[in-house]
Amino acid sequence: MRAGGCVCGAVRYEVAAEPYGAAVCHCRTCQRVHGAPMVAFFSARKADVRLTGELGEIRTSDHGIRRFCRACGTHIVFDDSRYPDEIDIATTTLDDPAPVAPRFHIWTRSQLPWVKLGDDLQTFPERSGQ
């Protein structure tokens, strides 16, 4: 069981199964939504995730909705209608994010030029790798 939540504690979640598809996303939407050059996330089956607290949401594409804590603004999940049975969760919202290391980088065509990757993970110009 993995648990996490937002910075203020108003939103909490538990993931009953082992996460999969752990990656680092370099897309412009993630950069803007999180205010960061890249965002680590993992995927889980929706049936294995229990969320508590009040979430706000913003549609960021024709297929994507991002959910965040209404109290503090921490962005926690991404729902993609193309994958209705899964949810992506921002890795660093886990209470202990260290064990959920990324396995690849996606959307590297949007990678900022001053970001230099020093790992040996596979990179994908767009979404792939799962």
Residue 42: CA atoms inside 13 Å, Cβ hemisphere, count?
A: 23
Q: Tell me how far apart the alpha carbons of residues 37 and 23 are, in angstroms, rounded to a whole number.
A: 14
pLDDT band at 118 (very low <50, low <70, confident <90, very high): confident
Looking at residues 95-124, what average pLDDT do you find? 94
Average pLDDT, the chain: 93
Give the pTM: 0.90
How many structural domains compose the chain?
1
What pLDDT does residue 126 have? Answer: 85
Owning domain of residue 102: 2-112+119-123
pLDDT in tens, 24-67: 999 999 999 999 999 999 999 999 999 999 999 999 888 889 99
Domain harbouring 45, CATH code: 2.170.150.70
Whether 72 is covered by a domain: the verdict is yes
Looking at residues 9-37, what average pLDDT do you find? 94
Looking at residues 80-109, what average pLDDT do you find? 95
pLDDT band at 127 (very low <50, low <70, confident <90, very high): confident
Whether 128 is covered by a domain: the verdict is no
Whether 129 is covered by a domain: the verdict is no
Looking at residues 81-93, what average pLDDT do you find? 95
Q: Are 123 and 117 in contact (CB under 8 A)?
A: yes
Q: Sheet harboring 49-52: ordered strands across?
A: 2-5, 12-15, 49-52
pLDDT band at 75 (very low <50, low <70, confident <90, very high): very high
Q: Which residues contact 85 (CB under 8 A, 6 or more apart)?
A: 45, 46, 47
Q: Tell me how far apart the alpha carbons of residues 44 and 1 are, in angstroms, rounded to a whole number.
A: 12
Q: Tell me how far apart the alpha carbons of residues 76 and 86 are, in angstroms, rounded to a whole number.
A: 14
Q: Are 105 and 86 in contact (CB under 8 A)?
A: no
